[in-house]
Amino acid sequence: MKSILMLEDGQKFLGESFGATGETTGEVVFNTSHTGYQEILTDPSYKGQIVTMTYPHIGNYGINFEDIESRKPFVEGFIVKEYSKIYSNWRSKKTLGEYLKQNKIIGIEGIDTRQLVKHIREKGSMKGIISTVDLNEKSLLRKVKLAGGIVGKDLVKEVTNRTIYKFKQKNGSGKNVVVMDFGVKMNILRSLYSVGLNPTIVPASTSFEKIMDLKPLGIMLSNGPGDPEAVTYAIETVKKIISSRLPVFGICLGHQILGLAMGGKTYKLKFGHHGSNQPIKNLKTGRVQIAAENHNFAVDLQTLKNAIPTHKNLNDGTLEGIGYRNLPVFSVQFHPEASPGPHDSKYLFLQFADSVENYAKKNRY
């Protein structure tokens, strides 16, 4: 079926649809990963975005039930150069197209993704619309211009779980930590569990008092979608958490919310960082690690007091990690749980576990 992608600046791309049919809008971004499309589709941080894969051949290993990162796909649309209708992998249960159709996600293939990516890199991320039902260019351009963007919009409330629950994998126990769910990925929970921590996950709007009733020995601020400045209720809660002197570890959106709670500011990047091959330099050790990233906003270090930069992105020099003087609090912009290295970043979970252990000893838990 014929399909069209229209960007808000009038640039159009004609292709064929796969997955669901209909119409969808979102901010068009590109991801430079060669594999991992299933993890990308189910990463809640992509809520509000239409994702373009730069690797040209997507879908050849199908979809399985083990590699999902959340309860469902959250992308608004999916763009590939060539969709593989044939898949081959011993764990696969269905095709990518079947999975998208089942979850009402519109895909488009057959467009020049190199041209699209180059356009976004030069002009910056922008809104787009994919349609299989309306191929009128003037109509589509009007719709995409009227569509809402992600700046100033609270997308966290659309992805966070509504109830408090415990993460259980096998049997055993560990020190209790609370994860504020801004769109948490499953592998963050697995990673916490692997270093001896027992995560309890709470909705993003959970009050400080309810969090403290759970008697946590540490707080994880998870990844999530959109503009951190719009999640005002979480920022206020994190301010109280910091004052309690509990150990805190933030990842991605959690890193940004922590920065805002510490009095800093955030800003929107031109086209963001999306991919599993980002070079991140540890400023303490001088070592470079390969990391996965998915964010459109960044923390402005110059607006923070009492902050110590710990990591930076070697592609554009943006801030990728912060520690804070005299506080058991730190955060990173990248995703240490994604393991593209594959184990370059596990030390961050061990660092958090050590901080939790020290807090427990100090307070005789």
The residues annotated with a catalytic role in the active site are 252, 335, 337
Distance (Å, whole) CA 62 – CA 88: 7
Smallest Cα–Cα separation from 186: which of 296, 294, 72?
Answer: 72
Round the CA-based radius of gyration of the chain to a whole number and report it: 20
**Do 250 and 172 form a contact (C-beta atoms < 8 A)?**
no
Beta strands 12-19 and 165-166 are: unpaired
Residue at 34: amino acid letter = H
**Do 296 and 252 form a contact (C-beta atoms < 8 A)?**
no
What lies within 8 Å, CB to CB, of 212 at 6+ separation is 244
Burial group, residue 77, by CB count within 10 angstroms (0-12, 13-18, 19+): buried
Per-residue tokens: 277: 């091959």
Measured on CA atoms in the order 334, 336, 340, 344, is the torsion positive or negative? Answer: positive
Measured on CA atoms in the order 238, 243, 247, 250, is the torsion positive or negative? Answer: positive
Secondary structure in 3-state letters for 30-77: EECCCCCHHHHHCCHHHCCEEEEECCCEECCCCECCCCCCCCCCCCCE
Beta strands 319-324 and 307-313 are: antiparallel
Residue at 253: amino acid letter = L
**Do 248 and 276 form a contact (C-beta atoms < 8 A)?**
no
Per-residue tokens: 51: 């994702």
Between CA 358 and CA 44, with CA 212 as vertex, the angle to 5 degrees is 90
Burial group, residue 71, by CB count within 10 angstroms (0-12, 13-18, 19+): exposed
